[in-house]
Each structure stands twice: as structure tokens, then as C-alpha cells.
Homo-oligomer: A and B are copies of this chain.
């Protein structure tokens, strides 16, 4: 279970999908050059491969353990975390004003992939810290920022997101955790939160919980939710750690995967109420949380890419090492490496092409983030924010579905050995299976895409994107490259399917919302495979015959993108059959 960071694939995906060269020239990345980016990614790859990947298996087998309210992480994790922060990796994407290196989202995303390929159970901890940093940057007072950000950026302290309650998962409007104003201008928090990743652990000195709660006089629903910072240890004025706050870990879940990551039940205010500090304004907590969630959704998409990459690497190696039967062109009496079998090659190409397509979609999203952050005028900032908004649900849902599907194929490539845990192929599937669920289920991503993102700027946001895709298709066709087979034609057809489905969907969102909701998931899939194919094809026409980019683009266009017509048909004609009454016999 070694891991070799795919530096070339990552750099190529950045070049193609994040338009790296032109973006640097046009000032989106003022202080960066391509060599620096590649150097950072290579170094991260070494750290991931040398330090984190060797702990993936022990993290799975041992897991984090809870005893007397304290969580002990798996052997080696404390030391790895110390090395991680000492080397400055935690500070890489952090704001420079607070000790960070201020590297942009494209680089943060690339190294996020590497940490998660190496060891997803470990990488979830810094991922959540980044989320807390984002939220504090956006909504925190200067006082909170000056105390908390330097420690979070350095990784001396870690962050958590406390949203879910037993009765309030996808629907945050139902949450019941209470906040009461105390005499000192702060708040006291009481309630129970569940599914809190790294809610308690032994990696860092302090844990900073960001907690959604409701004031007693708050309006009902989502407009009455406030966001609070609740540290595990209170912080003295001199920055030293003070008393233990009234928050404890009451249990950790026994999960299918990511065993290394403690998923905690957190009890706030079992005694006097946990001291909390307001982030942003009262009753406007959800807006801040969503800023953080959008970044987190992209990061979860990168986790999908990451697991898919790891699973692909392992399956590829196995397919070269394992001999069995005779390949399609084998002439000898000896058994062939199974990679010579056509069906195994199909599986490997399916794994590798979907992984690269998902990676490219995520990097396109990261590039939009960065363009929004560095935009110098309001109009281009708005355009970039809209692009980010459009692509985020696609990046999150598609890349995480790919993570699960590719991990499952990885087991299949291994045959019976894949079902044996020690092989490590099964761990990828177990780890990946959380990804389509957390940070908003993929069904919710699809609904977000259809009901909130398609209507943006009266449809101009999505239409502008489709025009870009069509331009790529035209370039592919104009290239007239025989080594791309039907790639150009297939891409053009898929874009037409996507355009037709989009028109139908925009109309349905206005006039027949249930039908729009019924088709949301296949619509997101159609959007994803078309965008993924376009980025792969864009890469192919910039590559030489025989290059990996050419093989992947053509395979994807001719074998995966072929689903576009059927998806469009399901979206535009399938809704009535989905909306069968839930009292009907079929649900009895």
C-alpha cells in the first residue's frame, strides 16, 4: 500500500482545467509560477508517501479509541501530525496575516488530494481546521481572529464543524442546540451534536469547535441560527490555555470506514453551559457556515479524487504483477499479467479516466475560487463567484461518486484477494463511502445545482459555461485527430444533450418544481460527465499521440460519455415515474 503522488497528472489537470499558464499571466496568481507550484506538489507527495501513507493501514485497523472522555488516535498519528505542522503543511493555505503561506485554492486542493490519497482518516483533521479558518476569516471579529487564527493556521490547535444533531441532519432548520447570552457579552451553549469529526483527539493542544445554535429569541427556521466558537480549553488573555470548557466527547461512532478519524458525539453545557463566542451576527450564522461549507465541499470532492487515485494506483500495480490466463494478444504458453486482458484494461481505464475527469472538474472549481478571491473589479468577482457556485455541487457530488465507484472497481480488479482486508483495496471502498453523504448528501448537491445554481443570473451562468464547453468540442473536432476516434463528435452530442436537459430543467424549476427535483440527480450526472469529457478532450488536443491524456479522453468519450443521451431522456421524460405517490403500493 505504497502511494506515489501523481505529480504529472495533477500538474496537467491544473494546466488544462485551471488554465494555469494564462491564469498566472492574467494575474489570478500574482506571486506564483508553475515551477513553484510543481515543487510544492512534489514535496507534498514525498511527505504523503513517506509519512502518511504508511499509517493508513494501522489507522484503519486500530482506529481512534475513547476512554474517560479522551480520544487516543492510532499509533504514529501524533508524531505524523507533529511532522505535518512542523513542516508547515498545515499553514500552506492559511492567510499570510496570521502566519499562513497564503497559497491559493488550486494548490491547496492539489495537496488536499495528496494528504487524502495517503491517509484519508488522518487528512480529515487538517481539512476541518481549514474550514474553521475560513469561517473565522469571513465572520470572526478581529479579537477572535488574533487569538485563534495563528494557532489554527500553525496547526497547534485544530478546528471542527458542529452542525448535525440527531434529528437535524440535512435539515439544519430543525436544530435545537441553545445559546444564551451571558453577562460578559458572550454566550453559553447547551446541546448535543453528532457526527463531529475529530471532535476530540490527542493530536493538538486545543480544539476549536464551530457550533451552530439557536438563541431563545431567535426566529424559527434557518434564519434563527447563530454560529459560535467554542474552544475545548478557554484561552487566557496572554494566549495561554486556561480552564477546560464545558464540552465533552460522550461517544465515538463505530463506522464502515475512516476508522482513524474519531467521529464524536459532543455534549455542550452538561454543567454550566459551554462558553461560546459569536462569529458574525446573531441569527446569521448559516451564511458564514455556508462560506465555509462551499470550500469544504470542494475539499470533499478532492477526497473523492484522492481515494480514486489511491485505488487506481493499487489496482494498476496488481494488474501488472498478477498473472492469470492469456491476454487478448498473448502468444506464449505462460500466463499473462491480467492487465493484458481486455476487460481488465476496461476497468483500469474506467478508473483512471474518471479519476482524472473528477480531478479536472475540482481544479476548475478551485480556479474559480481563486479568481473570485483575487478579482480586482466587482464584475469579474461576481462572474467568478457564480462560476464557483455552479461548479461546487458538481465537484462535490461527481468526484465523490467517482471515489466510491473507482474504489469498488479496484476491489474487482483484485478478484478474491480484493475481498481480503489485508490487501487494502477494501479499505478504499469503506473510506470512500462516507463521501457522497457528508457535507451535504449528493442528492442535496443535485437539488442545489438545479434549484439554486441554474437560475443564477437568469440562466446566464450555466449558459456561459455551456458555451465554453461547446468551444472545446469545436476545437476537438477541428483538430481532426484520428487518434481521438469519435471523441469530438461524442462530446458535441453530449453538449447538445446537456443543453436540451438544461433548458428543460430551467423551465421545470420555474413551472414544475417536483419534476425538476425528480431529475436532479441524473441532471448532475449528465453535467458532470459532459464537463469531465470536455476537460479530458481539451487536454488531449494539447498532447501527442500515445500520451496518457489522449487515451483517457478517447476512452471516456467513447465508453462513459455515451450515457449522455440516456441521461437526458431520463431527466426530460422520467419524472412522472419518479413522482409516483408515496402512499402507492410500490412503497407499501
Contacts and interface: CB of A to CB of B under 8 A. Distances in A.
Interface string A530-568: 000000000000000011100110110111001111110
Contact of A585 (B168, B437, B514, B548): B548
A320 B554 CA distance: 44
Given A419-B256, A485-B577, A580-B551, A521 B566 contact: no
A415 interface: yes
Given A169-B415, A419-B255, A433-B426, A574 B546 contact: no
Contacts of A587: 316, 320, 339, 345, 348
Contact of A254 (B253, B420, B485): B420
B584 A551 contact: yes
A416 B169 contact: yes
B570 A562 contact: yes
A417 B559 CA distance: 35
A554 B584 CA distance: 14
Interface stretch (A30-38, A126-134, A404-412, A457-465): A404-412
A78 interface: no
B579 A342 contact: yes
Interface residues of A, number: 101
Contacts of A344: 443
A188 to B, nearest CB: 27
A26 to B, nearest CB: 31
A343 B578 CA distance: 8
A325 interface: yes
Given A170-B325, A569-B562, A346 B195 contact: no
Given A520-B343, A585-B551, A404 B408 contact: yes
Interface string A235-265: 0000000000000000001111100000000
Contacts of A574: 555, 558-559, 562
Contact of A343 (B195, B447, B554): B447
A349 interface: yes
Given A253-B420, A419-B437, A420-B254, A446 B343 contact: yes
A420 B441 CA distance: 15
A349 B578 contact: yes
Interface in A414-447: 415-422, 426, 429-430, 433-434, 436-438, 441-443, 446-447
Contact of A412 (B415, B442, B588): B442
A171 B325 contact: yes
A567 B560 CA distance: 9
A174 B521 contact: no
A324 interface: yes
A328 B588 CA distance: 19
Interface string A41-81: 00000000000000000000000000000000000000000
13 contacts: A169-B417, A171-B325, A256-B420, A328-B518, A345-B518, A346-B521, A347-B443, A349-B580, A412-B437, A412-B443, A415-B437, A485-B573, A566-B566
Given A167-B323, A170-B325, A340-B582, 4 more contacts: A342-B514, A429-B433, A551-B586, A562-B565
Closest 7 pairs (CB-CB, A-B): A562-B566, A551-B586, A342-B517, A343-B443, A256-B426, A328-B514, A548-B586
